[in-house]
Copies of this chain bind each other. A is one copy, B any other.
Amino acid sequence: MSYTYEYPRPALTVDCVVFGFDGEERALKVLLIQRKGEPYKNCWALPGGFVGMEEDLETAAIRELKEETGLSNIFLEQLYSFGQPNRDPRGRVVSVAYFALVKHGKHKKLHATTDALDARWFPIKQTPELAFDHANILKVALERLRGKLRYQPIGFELLPEKFPLSELRHLYETILEKTLEKRNFRKKILKMKVLKALDEHQQGVAHRAARLYSFDKEKYEQLRQRGFNFEL
């Protein structure tokens, strides 16, 4: 079977930059797969692939992520489209990149599925050489993550459902690469009223157990519609 057009067409792919935050190592990580086929065989790359003919772009991103890494049901948002004529040795390939956030703990075990040799988390500071222009895509994604983190409550997407405030702070400190004053951070975030204080505490820690909180998405939506702006 083949398909014929009057004019040439670029191929269209999606690529996903999946970020996770490892609370234990206090490190921001990115999910990469090892390529099974040519080009860049065995090379590490962002998960992604060709867009189906009847498939929405976001749907394609979700599907590829599932196929190549086993991940599903995660925060996903379009990042940018990359279309340099020579970014792929096979010919003209335009890629719509997505940017995803996952609760790292939940997905520690990754499936290296049929489409990829391997799938692994890499600390953002120690990524291998990447295929295509993926290093650049990753760079853009990282800038976007840092930019959004301060103005939108997306940090919660990287944490488990229930978390102590200190973990949220560590996440901000790690990603923004600066330390935040403990008391002021607490005041600021609690004053926004987007966290639900739970009647639960940490367990099995060698010190006073911290209270757990959860992000109150409904409350946030209500506030946002009244013109409230999350900003940290």
Spell out A's residues near B (CB within 8 Å): 1-12, 50-51, 53-57, 78, 80-81, 83-85, 92, 94, 96
Can you list 21 pairs linking A and B with CB atoms under 8 Å apart?
A: A1-B6, A2-B5, A3-B4, A3-B8, A3-B9, A5-B5, A5-B11, A7-B50, A9-B11, A9-B12, A10-B12, A10-B51, A10-B53, A12-B12, A12-B94, A51-B83, A53-B85, A56-B84, A78-B80, A78-B81, A83-B96
Query: Is A85 touching B54 in the complex (CB atoms < 8 A)?
Result: yes
CB neighbours (8 Å) of A81 from chain B are: 57, 78, 81, 96
CB neighbours (8 Å) of A84 from chain B are: 56
Count of this chain's copies in the oligomeric assembly: 2
Complex Cα–Cα for A51 and B8 (A):
10
With contacts A3-B4, A78-B81 known, what are 4 further pairs, Cβ within 8 A? A5-B5, A12-B94, A51-B83, A78-B80
Query: Is A53 touching B96 in the complex (CB atoms < 8 A)?
Result: no
The answer to whether residues A9 and B6 also contact, given A53-B92, A83-B56 and a CB cut-off of 8 A, is no
Residue on B nearest A82 in the bound complex, by CB: B57
Complex Cα–Cα for A54 and B10 (A):
9
CB neighbours (8 Å) of A11 from chain B are: 5, 9
Quick one: which of A1, A5, A6, A83 has the most chain B CB within 10 A? Answer: A83
Complex Cα–Cα for A57 and B83 (A):
6
What is the CB-to-nearest-CB distance from A210 to chain B, in angstroms, rounded to a whole number?
Answer: 32
CB neighbours (8 Å) of A96 from chain B are: 81, 83, 94
Complex Cα–Cα for A80 and B84 (A):
16
Residue on B nearest A6 in the bound complex, by CB: B2
What is the CB-to-nearest-CB distance from A4 to chain B, in angstroms, rounded to a whole number?
Answer: 5
Query: Is B2 touching A57 in the complex (CB atoms < 8 A)?
Result: no
What is the CB-to-nearest-CB distance from A55 to chain B, in angstroms, rounded to a whole number?
Answer: 7
Query: Is A85 touching B55 in the complex (CB atoms < 8 A)?
Result: yes
Residue on B nearest A83 in the bound complex, by CB: B57
Query: Is B8 touching A53 in the complex (CB atoms < 8 A)?
Result: yes
CB neighbours (8 Å) of A4 from chain B are: 2-5
Complex Cα–Cα for A92 and B8 (A):
14
